[in-house]
Structure 1
Amino acid sequence: MRIWSIANQKGGVGKTTTVVSLGGLLASQGKRVLLVDLDPHGSLTSYFGQDPDSLDRSLYHLFFEQRHKDKSFIQSVLKPTSLNNVALLPATTSLATLERQVSGQEGMGLVLARSLAQLWEEYDHVLLDTPPILGVLLVNALAACQRLVIPTQTEHLALKGLERMVHTLRMVMRSQNRSLPYTIVPTLFDRRTGASLTTLKEMRRNYQDALWEEAIPVDTRLRDASHEGVFPHQLDAGGRGVRAYRHLLASLEQAAAAEGGG
Structure 2
Amino acid sequence: MCRVIAISNQKGGVGKTTTTVNLGIGLARQGKKVLLIDADPQGSLTASLGYVEPDEIGTTLATIMMAIINEKEFEITDGILHHKENVDLLPANIELSALEVTMGNVMSRELIMKEYIEAVRTEYDYILIDCMPSLGLMTINALVAADSVLIPVQAAYLPVKGLQQLIHTIAMVKKRLNRQLVFEGILLTMVDFRTNYAKDVAGKVREAYGEKIEIFDTVIPMSVKAAETSAEGVSIFSHCLNGKVAKAYETIAKEVLGNEE
TM-score, shorter chain, exceeding 0.5: yes
Contact 2:144/2:178 (CA < 8 Å) preserved in 1?
no
- Deviation at residue 131 of structure 1 after TM alignment: 0.6
Match of 1:214 among 218, 228, 232: 218
Q: CA deviation at 1:68?
A: 7.1
Match of 1:63, SS state, is helix
Task: State the shift of 1:213 in Å.
Answer: 2.3
1:12-51 equivalences in 2 (<5 Å): 12-50=13-51, 51=53
Residue 142 of structure 1 corresponds to which residue in structure 2?
143
Offset at residue 71 of structure 1 (A): 5.5
Instruction: Calculate the TM-score normalised by the size of structure 2.
Output: 0.92
Q: CA deviation at 1:30?
A: 2.0
Q: Determine the C-alpha separation between the residues in 1 that align with 2:23 and 2:178.
A: 29
More deviation in 36-45 or 189-198?
189-198
The 3-state SS of whatever aligns with 2:245 is helix
Q: In 2, distance between residues paired with 1:248 and 1:70?
A: 37
SS at match of 1:118: helix
Asked if the contact 2:4–2:148 (Cα under 8 Å) also holds between the matched residues in 1, the reply is yes
Q: 1:61 to 1:223 in 2, by over 3 A?
A: same
Equivalent position amino acid for 2:200 in 1? T
1-structure distance, mates of 2:218, 2:81: 33
Cα separation, 2, equivalents of 1:155 and 1:33 = 31
CA contact (8 A) 1:71 1:118 kept: no
**Out of 229, 240, 246, which is 2:250 matched to?**
246
SS at match of 2:128: strand
| Partner residue, 1:260 | none
* TM superposition shift of 1:179: 4.2
1:144 and 1:165, CA in 2 relative to 1: closer, same or farther beyond 3 A? same
Q: Partners of 2:141 and 2:13 in 1: how far apart? A: 21
Matched residue, 2:128: 127
Aligned 8 A contact 2:61 2:91 in 1: yes
Q: TM-score, normalised by structure 1?
A: 0.91
Q: SS of the residue aligned with 2:4? A: strand
Structure 1, unaligned runs of 5 or more: 258-262
Counterparts of 1:184 and 1:69 in 2: how far apart (Å)? Answer: 38
Q: Which stretch shifts more, 144-153 or 63-72?
A: 63-72
AA of the residue aligned to 1:9: Q
Equivalent residue letter for 1:244: A
Deviations 1:153-189 (Å, cap 9, x if unpaired)? 0000111221221111111111126142210111100
Going from structure 1 to structure 2, the CA distance change for 1:53 and 1:177 (only over 3 Å counts) comes to: closer
**Larger displacement relative to structure 2 (150-159 or 23-32):** 23-32
Alignment length (residue pairs): 255
Question: Structure 1: how far apart are the matches of 2:180 and 2:187?
Answer: 19
> Do structure 1's residue 176 and structure 2's residue 177 form an aligned pair?
yes
Deviation, 1:76, is: 2.2
Residue by residue over 1:193-217, the C-alpha shift from the partner in whole angstroms, topping out at 9 and shown as x without a partner, is 2221111011011011322223111
Once the two structures are superposed, the pairs formed by residues 78-227 of structure 1 within 5 Å of their partners are 78-83=80-85, 85-176=86-177, 178-182=179-183, 183-209=185-211, 210=213, 211-227=215-231
Q: Which stretch shows the higher mean deviation, 123-132 or 174-183?
A: 174-183
Instruction: Specify the code of the residue in structure 2 equivalent to 1:218.
Output: M
Task: Say if 1:177 and 1:141 are closer, same or farther in 2 by CA, change over 3 A.
Answer: closer
